[in-house]
Amino acid sequence: MLSRRVRTSALTLATLVALGSTIWAQSIEVATINPGAAPTTHTLTITLKGTLGPVLSGPDPLGLNGKSGKITVMASEALSPTKHTATSATYTLPAGAITVTAGSNHFTTTSPSKMIVSLLSTADTLTLVVAGPDGLMATDTTFLKVGSWTAAVLKHPTTFKPTPQKLKSATTAGGPGCKLKYTIFGAATVLGFHGTGSNSATVDPLLADDDLDQ
């Protein structure tokens, strides 16, 4: 009876080792076939915070000039771009992925948003296109240092370096630098923005727990 139990335990152990080896081999194969694939259990968080202003164009009906502003973006590193070129990638983020605070105005998106990353010769840029309450539409443009992202960001969202970075305001509505354009009540306004930009990537605890349960 003892020998039978030993043989059964040994067989079970051998099966588990073989299964684990197969899964490990499949992971290597996927990574080899698609080296740009992102870990499915990581979430990228980008935080932009600072001060809005000056007014570069428009009437500023929300009175945001001189007020503090903060945008938090959460994106899965497993996302694939919905559109891309040799130097840019457009990602569609689900509802709830972006939270905006501008002065006394605060909201979390309830519809999909766009995140556009462009790798230019003068800067790496991050553009967020967001819909808010009462018909508000906002486009936030952030200029980061050249080379902040590697080309991998054109295949899936990933972190930029260094972090944090100092963000400099645009001086004209159509010129380089950080700015926020918002449209509400039929009026369009562009404000400069200066502050800091930072990001991090962490393991999604829900996905990690699911893996442990399997």
How far lies 158's CA from each of 18, 40, 201, in Å? 33, 12, 8
Q: Band the pLDDT of 17: cuts 50, 70, 90.
A: very low
CB 176 within 8 A of CB 169: no
What is the tens place of the pLDDT at every residue in 78-135? 999 999 999 999 999 999 999 999 999 999 999 999 999 999 999 999 999 999 999 9
Report pLDDT for 205: 57
Length of the chain in terms of residues written: 214
pLDDT at 209 over 80: no
Who has greater pLDDT, 203 or 31? 203
pLDDT at 40 over 70: no
Q: What is the residue-wise DSSP string for 117-167?
A: EEE-SS-EEEEEEEE-GGG-EEEEEEEE-TTSS-GGGGTS----SSSSEEE
pLDDT of residue 120: 96
State the pTM of this model.
0.78
pLDDT of residue 190: 98
pLDDT exceeds 90 at position 31: no
Higher pLDDT, 200 or 205: 200
pLDDT at 214: 44
Average pLDDT for 38-52: 84
Residue 55: the pLDDT is 98
What is the per-residue pLDDT for 39?
43
The per-residue pLDDT for 210 is 42
More confident residue, 28 or 166: 166
Average pLDDT, the chain: 83
Which whole number is the average pLDDT over 192-214? 72
- The rounded distance, in Å, linking the Cα atoms of 140 and 158 is 19
Cis, peptide link before residue 164, omega less than 30° from 0? yes
